[in-house]
Structure 1
Amino acid sequence: MRFIEVSEDPFYELEYRSSGQGGKVREVVLPFYKAIVDELPDGITSFVISSDLQGREQNKKTNRLVGEVVAEELSLLSELGEIPSISFVALAGDFYDYPQLHKVGGTGDVTNVWNAFAKEFPFVVGVLGNHDIVKEQHLASNTIVLDGSSKKYLGVRIGGVSGIIGRSDRNQRKSKQEFMSALAKVTTVKNDLILLHQGPEDTSNSQLGDLEITNYLLSKSKSIVAFGHSHWSKPFIEIGKNQVLNVDKRLYLVTTANSVKA
């Protein structure tokens, strides 16, 4: 599975509210893009990748996390025939924002987001961001959180590492050694897709990330790597034999050219 085209023009947009600097509420637009791969296994029509949807819906009365709304919106688009049916959803972390939207960088429970996707689609796989908390006992049975582990679903093998590099006494942080050890575990097997929250540094385009992750991918990995945490203005690059996609505050519908035409 390799990308042959990653669109730069969104096919759909969703407005939501997010915490801004100085306690101000920001109006934000989430772009939905299409990414075309050369092939998908039988049984997979399309899948979705997204991260860093830190905000709340426009409806202030219900005030749900925006990820819950995105799940419903994707389901509706599929029902209307606007997009192919979605076989699974891949989450790359950070789906929380305060109910009052009063402060940037809130940490909280995103179990409802995972379960909203699980309600609408057959399978949800992902990693946790440094602002995410989940109550695993309350997660739907068709979800799996990856952390130095891999899962095969309908012929697509997905590996992932949760969290970021930092002080291990803080939420979803790992020491450099712990993070790189977890990354090594998911690259010792051939994964079609690797999900990270913290991603590599893009030295060519001066885009933020971790240089050690970059160097490791250059020497040890050949996969599609999707991540968030730091927003890149140029989201799709190659690092060695890896196709690297930054999904921070973006959503990608991954499918084949035949499915798009259908």
Structure 2
Amino acid sequence: MRFIEVSEDPFYEIEYRSSGRGGKVRKVVLPFYKAIVDELPKGITSFVITSDLQGREQKKTNRLIGELVAEELSLLSDLGEIPPVSLVALAGDFYDHPELHKLGGTGDVTTVWNAFAKEFPFVVGVHGNHDIVVESHLASNTIVLDGNSKNYLGIRIGGVSGIIGSSDRNQRKSKREFMSALAKVTNVKNDLILLHLGPEDATNRQIGDPEITNYLLSKGTDIVAFGHCHWSKSFIDIGKNQVLNVDHRLYLVTTANA
């Protein structure tokens, strides 16, 4: 599975509210893009990749925005505006404070995972550094990846949760632990690798971790999707890997004839 086209023009948008700097509430737009691959396994018409949906819907219910995104995707599918979504791939960070009073809040995102699981057959993903879940409350059609892979209907997905940092903080690993987990994932052939912390793109001055970049230059032939740091140029090649930044974005991955 390889990308042959990644759109730069959104086909749909959702407005929501998010915590901003200095306790100010921001109005934010989440763009939905299409990404075309050469082929998908039989039984998968399309799948979704997204991350860093840190905000709340504008209605009085004040749900985490990921819950609304799940419903909107399902509605678009029911209306025939997008192909049926076979799975959702989450790359971390889906929390924001109910009061939207502080940028970078950490909290429970179990409801976001379960919202996608309610609408779609399978949900797979990694945790971001601001995510907490109650694993016993996750729906049965979800799986969290961390140094391992899962095969679903012929598409193999690997992932590493968290970021590099002090292990006494939420969803952090030492550099050795993180790179060891990444090595376990790339030791088998995956179609898609999910990370929260992604590589650096020095060519385009886009921030990330340079050690991940150096590793991907010589390892893997996969699609690697990640969030955590926003890139203006979302799609590049690193080595033989196709690398897609999905921070504050949603991509519908499908084939040209779907």
Q: TM-score scaled by structure 1? A: 0.98
Secondary structure, counterpart of 1:152 in structure 2: strand
Cα contact 2:37–2:254 (8 A) shared by 1: yes
Query: Is the counterpart of residue 44 in structure 1 residue 40 in structure 2?
Result: no
Q: CA deviation at 1:163?
A: 0.1
| Cα distance between partner residues in 1 of 2:125 and 2:248 | 16
| Cα distance between partner residues in 1 of 2:76 and 2:125 | 22
Give 1:95's aligned residue.
Answer: 94
Letter in 2 for 1:9: D
| Cα distance between partner residues in 1 of 2:62 and 2:57 | 6
Give 2:30's aligned residue.
Answer: 30
Secondary structure, counterpart of 1:73 in structure 2: helix
Gaps of 5+ in 2: none
Give 1:211's aligned residue.
Answer: 210
Give 1:160's aligned residue.
Answer: 159
Letter in 2 for 1:210: D
Q: CA deviation at 1:117?
A: 0.1
Secondary structure, counterpart of 2:112 in structure 1: helix
Residues 140-219 of structure 1 aligned to structure 2 (within 5 Å): 140-219=139-218
**C-alpha distance after superposition, 1:119-153 (max 9, x if no partner):** 00000000000000000000000000000010000
**C-alpha distance after superposition, 1:17-60 (max 9, x if no partner):** 0000111100000000000000000000000000000000010x
Give 1:3's aligned residue.
Answer: 3
Letter in 2 for 1:160: G
Secondary structure, counterpart of 1:71 in structure 2: helix
Secondary structure, counterpart of 1:258 in structure 2: coil
Give 2:63's aligned residue.
Answer: 64
Structure 1 stretches of 4+ with a deviation exceeding 4 A read: none
**C-alpha distance after superposition, 1:137-177 (max 9, x if no partner):** 00000000000010000000000000000000000000000
Cα contact 2:110–2:132 (8 A) shared by 1: yes
Q: CA deviation at 1:220?
A: 1.3
Cα contact 2:216–2:238 (8 A) shared by 1: yes
| Cα distance between partner residues in 2 of 1:160 and 1:143 | 14
| Cα distance between partner residues in 2 of 1:41 and 1:191 | 13
Count of aligned positions? 258
Q: TM-score scaled by structure 2? A: 1.00
Gaps of 5+ in 1: none
Letter in 2 for 1:169: D
| Cα distance between partner residues in 1 of 2:187 and 2:19 | 39
Q: CA deviation at 1:221?
A: 1.2
| Cα distance between partner residues in 2 of 1:30 and 1:187 | 31
Cα contact 2:159–2:195 (8 A) shared by 1: yes
Secondary structure, counterpart of 2:88 in structure 1: strand
RMSD value over aligned CA atoms?
A: 0.3
**C-alpha distance after superposition, 1:92-118 (max 9, x if no partner):** 000000000000000000000000000
| Cα distance between partner residues in 2 of 1:96 and 1:156 | 28
Q: CA deviation at 1:203?
A: 1.2
Q: CA deviation at 1:222?
A: 1.0
Letter in 1 for 2:98: P
| Cα distance between partner residues in 1 of 2:224 and 2:210 | 15
